[in-house]
Structure 1
Amino acid sequence: MRKFISKIVVILLVVIAVLFSKNIIRYYFPLKYSNYVVKYSQEYNLDPHFVMAVIKTESNFNPNVRSSKNAVGLMQITPDTAGWAAREMNIGNFNYGMLNDPKFNIMMGCWYLNNLNREFNGNKKLVLAAYNGGRGNVQKWLKDSQHSTDGKNLYYIPFKETDKYIKRVEVNYKVYKYLYLKIDTGTFSQ
C-alpha cells in the first residue's frame, strides 16, 4: 500500500509541475488581443495560433513599437505596405496613424498574411519569408537555383534576419499550439 501511495504522490507531483510550468509559459506567450486575432483570422482564413506567433515575434504584443524600418504596431506593418494594402482593401479614409490601433493593425496584418498565403499557395515558410523580407525577394529567390531547386520551396534564405525570423515564428507557433490547443466560441481554450 505504501508503494501505491508513493506512486500516486509522484504522479500528482508530475501533473502539478506540468500544469504549473504551462502557466509560467503562458505568462510569456499571452493571448493579448485574442478577440481581434480570432475575428480576423477567421475572416482571412488563417490559423489564429499562426497570427499570435507572428505578433509575438514582430512586436511581443507592444502596440506602440516602431522598427528601424519604420514598421508600426503589433504586426509591424511598414508605411509602404500599409498604403498598398489600404488601396487593395478599398479603405478610402486610410491614414498611417491607423496602424497604431491594435484592431486595425491586426486586421490589415491578417489581410496581408492571407494575400501572401494565396500568392505562395499556403507555403508558410514562403509567406513568412515574404512578410519579413519582401515578396519580390522571395519571388527572386525561388527563381534562383542557389536558393531553390524546384521554384516552389526555399532551401537557402540569403537574408540571415529573415531566416532567423522564420525560425522564431515557427517556434512561437508550436508553443501557441501546445499551450492553447483549440478555439472555442471566439476565444482560445486552455
Structure 2
Amino acid sequence: MSIMPMDYGRPSRPLYSSLLRNWGLTLLVFGLFYFVYSGTAWVWFRPVVHKPLINKYAAEYRFDPLWVMAIIKVESGFAPWAHSHRGALGLMQLLPSTARELAPEIGLNPFHDQDLTNPEINIHLGVYYLSKLQSLFPNDDIAVLAAWNAGPGVTQQWLRGKPALDFEDILYAETRHFVRQVDRTYGWLKIIQGWKHLFGIAHGRG
C-alpha cells in the first residue's frame, strides 16, 4: 500500500489570490479608518480656504507648505478663531506677546492682539517666526517644532550640544506629543499629495 506524499508547497493559486485580496482589503480599510479618525481627511478633502496664504508665505520663507499646513492642523484644526487656555490665538496659535515682538519686524505697525484672528496676519507672523527658529536650529525640524511649542531656551538645553534633537530628548510630554502629531500629520499630507498627483487631481482644488 503506497501513501501519497502530502504537498506542503505554495497554496493553490485561487487560495493564494484570495488571501492576498483579503489582506489587501483589510489594510485598505484599516488605513482609511485611521486616515479619517486622525482628522487628516478633513484637512484635505474639504476646501482649504487658507491654502493660498499658506503657499504664499511658505514660499517666501522657503518652507514646505505641507509642513506649515500640518502645524496649523495640529494647532487649531484650521479655525481662525481658535484660542488656547494660555491665550494663544488664531490658526497657528501665536501668543500675543510673541506676536507683538514679531509684528514690527515684518512691517506690521500698528498691531493689535485681535489681529491674530486674521488668517493672513496670523500665517505671515507664524511662518516668519518659524524662519527665525530655523535660523537657531538649522536642518533640525524636530528642534524647530520643539522650540515653537516649548520655547527656544529650553530646546537649546535639551540639545546639550548634540547635532540634532531626538523625540526622546524632549522632556515635556505636551511638547513631545505636539511634535509627533505634526510629524504624523505631515507624513499623511505628503501621502495624500502623492495620491492627488497619481490620480491627476487638479492642484489647488481642495
Fold-level similarity (TM above 0.5): yes
The 1-side partners of 2:99 and 2:61 are apart by: 17
1:168 maps to which of 168, 181, 186: 181
Larger radius of gyration: 2
Q: CA RMSD in A?
A: 3.1
2:77 maps to which of 49, 60, 64: 60
Report if aligned partners of 2:70, 2:185 keep a CA contact under 8 Å in 1.
yes
Report if aligned partners of 1:55, 1:74 keep a CA contact under 8 Å in 2.
yes
The amino acid of 1:55's aligned partner reads I
Change (3 A) 1:45 1:189: farther
The 2-side partners of 1:92 and 1:34 are apart by: 25
1:72 aligns with 2:89: yes
The amino acid of 2:144's aligned partner reads V
Change (3 A) 1:140 1:55: same
Task: Indicate the residue corresponding to 1:131 in structure 2.
Answer: 148
Report if aligned partners of 1:26, 1:179 keep a CA contact under 8 Å in 2.
no
Deviation at residue 172 of structure 1 after TM alignment: 0.3
- How many residue pairs end up in the alignment? 174
TM-score by length of 2: 0.72
The amino acid of 2:170's aligned partner reads I
Change (3 A) 1:152 1:97: same
The 1-side partners of 2:74 and 2:99 are apart by: 19
Task: Indicate the residue corresponding to 2:9 in structure 1.
Answer: none
Deviation at residue 59 of structure 1 after TM alignment: 0.4
The amino acid of 1:169's aligned partner reads V
The 2-side partners of 1:109 and 1:163 are apart by: 20
Deviation at residue 125 of structure 1 after TM alignment: 0.1
For the residue of structure 1 that corresponds to 2:169, the secondary structure is: coil
TM-score by length of 1: 0.78
Structure 1: where are the runs of 5+ without partners? none
Report if aligned partners of 2:40, 2:188 keep a CA contact under 8 Å in 1.
no
The amino acid of 2:73's aligned partner reads K
The 2-side partners of 1:104 and 1:90 are apart by: 11
Equivalence map 1:1-190=2 (5 Å): 21=32, 27-30=41-44, 31-143=48-160, 150=162, 152-154=164-166, 155-181=168-194, 187-188=203-204
The 1-side partners of 2:103 and 2:70 are apart by: 23
The amino acid of 1:153's aligned partner reads L
The 2-side partners of 1:122 and 1:88 are apart by: 23
Deviation at residue 115 of structure 1 after TM alignment: 1.3
For the residue of structure 1 that corresponds to 2:54, the secondary structure is: helix
The 2-side partners of 1:76 and 1:133 are apart by: 13
